[in-house]
């Protein structure tokens, strides 16, 4: 078998669009397709596909909802020529585009192109494949739908701005895609850590409930209706006056950043200053180059074999010496001690233990003024239902032998009765919660 090198070899060269590179793209595409098809052949694969489908529907609905909202806002701003407020929309999209993937990172599989490094793959091909995997991210769907919303809103109000809006928003979208890819490539080491993913997962759940509760607070304020619009606006006006210099400086700075530049491109065009509009667009292009370079820099390092997640795992040769023991003897004490160690080292377990208490406090806080103040608790019904539903997930982390993994065999091998093995687990978490 050896010594047949050269037979049937496509040949090197041609760069990232050469014959060999194209054959490699085809092989990658076929690989993904075959993996998908085989995935359908098993229950696990079908469930996986179902979960992915539901997630994509959720992201699409989220993106469509935000897109419609942004479309209305953009239409309103463009038709009233309030271009000075347009950057707010672009900044909102940018934050969402960047924050959303970081928060849902714990629920997603991170794409790892490390398997390609053993093959004679051109760096350009490696870069391109990474970018394509970035395009498949949920944040891209949501972000692009938001951009489409803004584009539609502006073009409906000002059809004459079709070209500039298309150019500005396209470049803005490309910048965000590159930025998110670059950020992810750089924080790979951080995301590779189990604890980080756990923290982000918990943060996402808290954020979901918090947003719903905040919405409830606003609804409550609206329902109270005790103050007139004028009264409500007064404190806001005072605050704006107080922070005016700061806001002015922030506005000056944001104009030079991508969301500001995207908005300024359109603003300048409407002011009949196409050269200034073009200059803003060019600066935005420069930002695209900066984001692309940041991504290329990290990927080049990955391509050289500088794998941050490996470094992270090897680097952290931390001493996890036990330091303490619970004492006692027999399986009951041993299992309780094991559960306690697992609890202290696993954030989802801590979350599972603490979150019921947290929700009790939140619910108590929401309702305790209700009878005397006549507060309407109806706006909080939905967030509390969501919070209650989330409690269901916490139950998966404990009293579940599946979480033991391969270690479960040790329990079965031990010369103990099944009751001795199960009771400590059944008693442990409720004891922690109640204490």
Partner 1 sequence: MENPAIQTNGLTRLFGTLAAVEDVTLSVAPGQFFGFLGPNGAGKSTTIKMLTGLLEPSAGTIDILGQRFGPESRELKRQIGVVPEGMALLGRLTAPEYLHFVGRMYGLDAATTNQRTEELLEFMQLAGEGRKLVTDFSHGMQKKLAMAAAVIHGPKVLFLDEPFEGVDAIAAGMLKNMLTGMINRGATIFLTTHVLEIVERLCSHVAIISKGRLVAIGSLDELRAGVASALPGVEQGQRFTLEEIFLAILGADGHRESTQELSWLA
Binding site for partner 1 (CB under 8 A): 1-12, 20, 23-24, 26-27, 30-31, 34-35, 38-39, 45, 114-123, 301, 303-307, 310-311, 314-315, 317
For 233, residues 6+ apart whose C-beta sits below 8 A from its C-beta are none
Min dist. Cβ of residue 407 to partner 1 (A): 20
Min dist. Cβ of residue 87 to partner 1 (A): 41
Min dist. Cβ of residue 410 to partner 1 (A): 19
Burial category of 424 from C-beta neighbours within 10 Å (exposed 0-12, middle 13-18, buried 19 and up): buried
Residue 57 has, within 13 A of its CA and on its CB side, a CA count of 6
Please, which residue, 44 or 230, has the CB nearer to partner 1?
44
For 254, residues 6+ apart whose C-beta sits below 8 A from its C-beta are 87, 91, 260
CA distances (Å), 97 to each of 90, 144, 299, 338, in order? 10, 9, 21, 41
Please, which residue, 215 or 312, has the CB nearer to partner 1?
312
CA 257 – CA 261 distance, rounded (Å):
6
Please, which residue, 256 or 310, has the CB nearer to partner 1?
310
Please, which residue, 115 or 275, has the CB nearer to partner 1?
115
Please, which residue, 2 or 389, has the CB nearer to partner 1?
2
The answer to whether 192 and 308 have CB atoms below 8 angstroms apart is yes
Q: What's the maximum distance between 2 C-alpha atoms anywhere in the chain?
A: 89
CA 199 – CA 187 distance, rounded (Å):
15
The answer to whether 195 and 312 have CB atoms below 8 angstroms apart is no
* CA angle (133, 48, 63) in 5-degree steps: 55
Min dist. Cβ of residue 119 to partner 1 (A): 4
Please, which residue, 92 or 301, has the CB nearer to partner 1?
301
Min dist. Cβ of residue 308 to partner 1 (A): 11
Min dist. Cβ of residue 7 to partner 1 (A): 6
Min dist. Cβ of residue 435 to partner 1 (A): 38
CA 122 – CA 300 distance, rounded (Å):
11
CA 176 – CA 166 distance, rounded (Å):
15
Please, which residue, 20 or 339, has the CB nearer to partner 1?
20
Please, which residue, 45 or 65, has the CB nearer to partner 1?
45
111 DSSP 8-state letter: P
Min dist. Cβ of residue 17 to partner 1 (A): 15
């Amino acid at each position: 078998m050896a010594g047949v090198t050269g037979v049937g070899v496509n040949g090197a060269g041609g760069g990232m669009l050469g014959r060999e590179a194209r054959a490699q793209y085809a092989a990658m595409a076929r690989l993904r397709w075959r993996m998908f098809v085989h995935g359908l052949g098993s229950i696990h694969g079908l469930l996986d596909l179902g979960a992915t489908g539901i997630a994509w529907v959720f992201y699409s609905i989220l993106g469509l909802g935000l897109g419609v909202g942004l479309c209305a806002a953009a239409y309103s701003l463009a038709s009233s020529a309030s271009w000075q407020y347009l950057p707010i929309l672009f900044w909102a999209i940018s934050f969402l585009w960047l924050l959303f993937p970081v928060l849902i990172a714990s629920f997603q599989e991170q794409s790892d192109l490390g398997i390609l490094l053993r093959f004679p793959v051109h760096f350009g091909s490696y870069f391109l494949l990474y970018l394509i995997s970035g395009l498949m991210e949920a944040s891209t769907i949501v972000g692009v739908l938001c951009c489409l919303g803004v584009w539609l809103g502006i073009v409906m109000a000002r059809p004459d701005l079709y070209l500039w809006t298309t150019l500005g928003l396209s470049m803005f979208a490309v910048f965000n895609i590159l930025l998110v890819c670059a950020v992810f490539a750089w924080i790979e080491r951080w995301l590779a850590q189990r604890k980080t993913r756990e923290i982000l997962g918990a943060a996402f759940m808290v954020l979901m409930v918090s947003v719903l509760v905040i919405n409830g607070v606003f609804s409550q304020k609206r329902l109270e209706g005790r103050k007139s619009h004028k009264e409500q606006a007064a404190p806001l006006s005072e605050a704006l006056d107080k922070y005016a210099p700061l806001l002015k400086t922030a506005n000056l700075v944001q104009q030079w950043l991508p969301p500001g530049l995207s908005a300024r491109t359109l603003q300048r065009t409407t002011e009949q200053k196409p050269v200034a509009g073009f200059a803003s667009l060019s600066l935005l292009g420069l930002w695209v180059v900066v984001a692309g370079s940041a991504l290329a820099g990290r990927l080049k390092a990955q391509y050289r074999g500088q794998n941050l997640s490996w470094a992270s795992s090897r680097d952290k040769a931390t001493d996890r010496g036990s330091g303490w023991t619970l004492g006692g003897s027999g399986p009951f004490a041993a299992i309780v001690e094991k559960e306690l160690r697992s609890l202290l080292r696993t954030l989802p377990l801590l979350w599972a233990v603490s979150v019921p208490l947290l929700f009790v406090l939140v619910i108590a806080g929401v309702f305790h003024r209700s009878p005397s103040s006549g507060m309407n608790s109806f706006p909080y019904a939905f967030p509390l239902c969501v919070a209650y539903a989330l409690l269901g997930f916490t139950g998966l982390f404990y009293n579940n032998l599946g979480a033991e993994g391969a270690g479960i065999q040790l329990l079965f091998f031990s010369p103990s009765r099944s009751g001795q093995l199960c009771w400590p687990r059944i008693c442990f978490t409720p004891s922690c919660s109640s204490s």
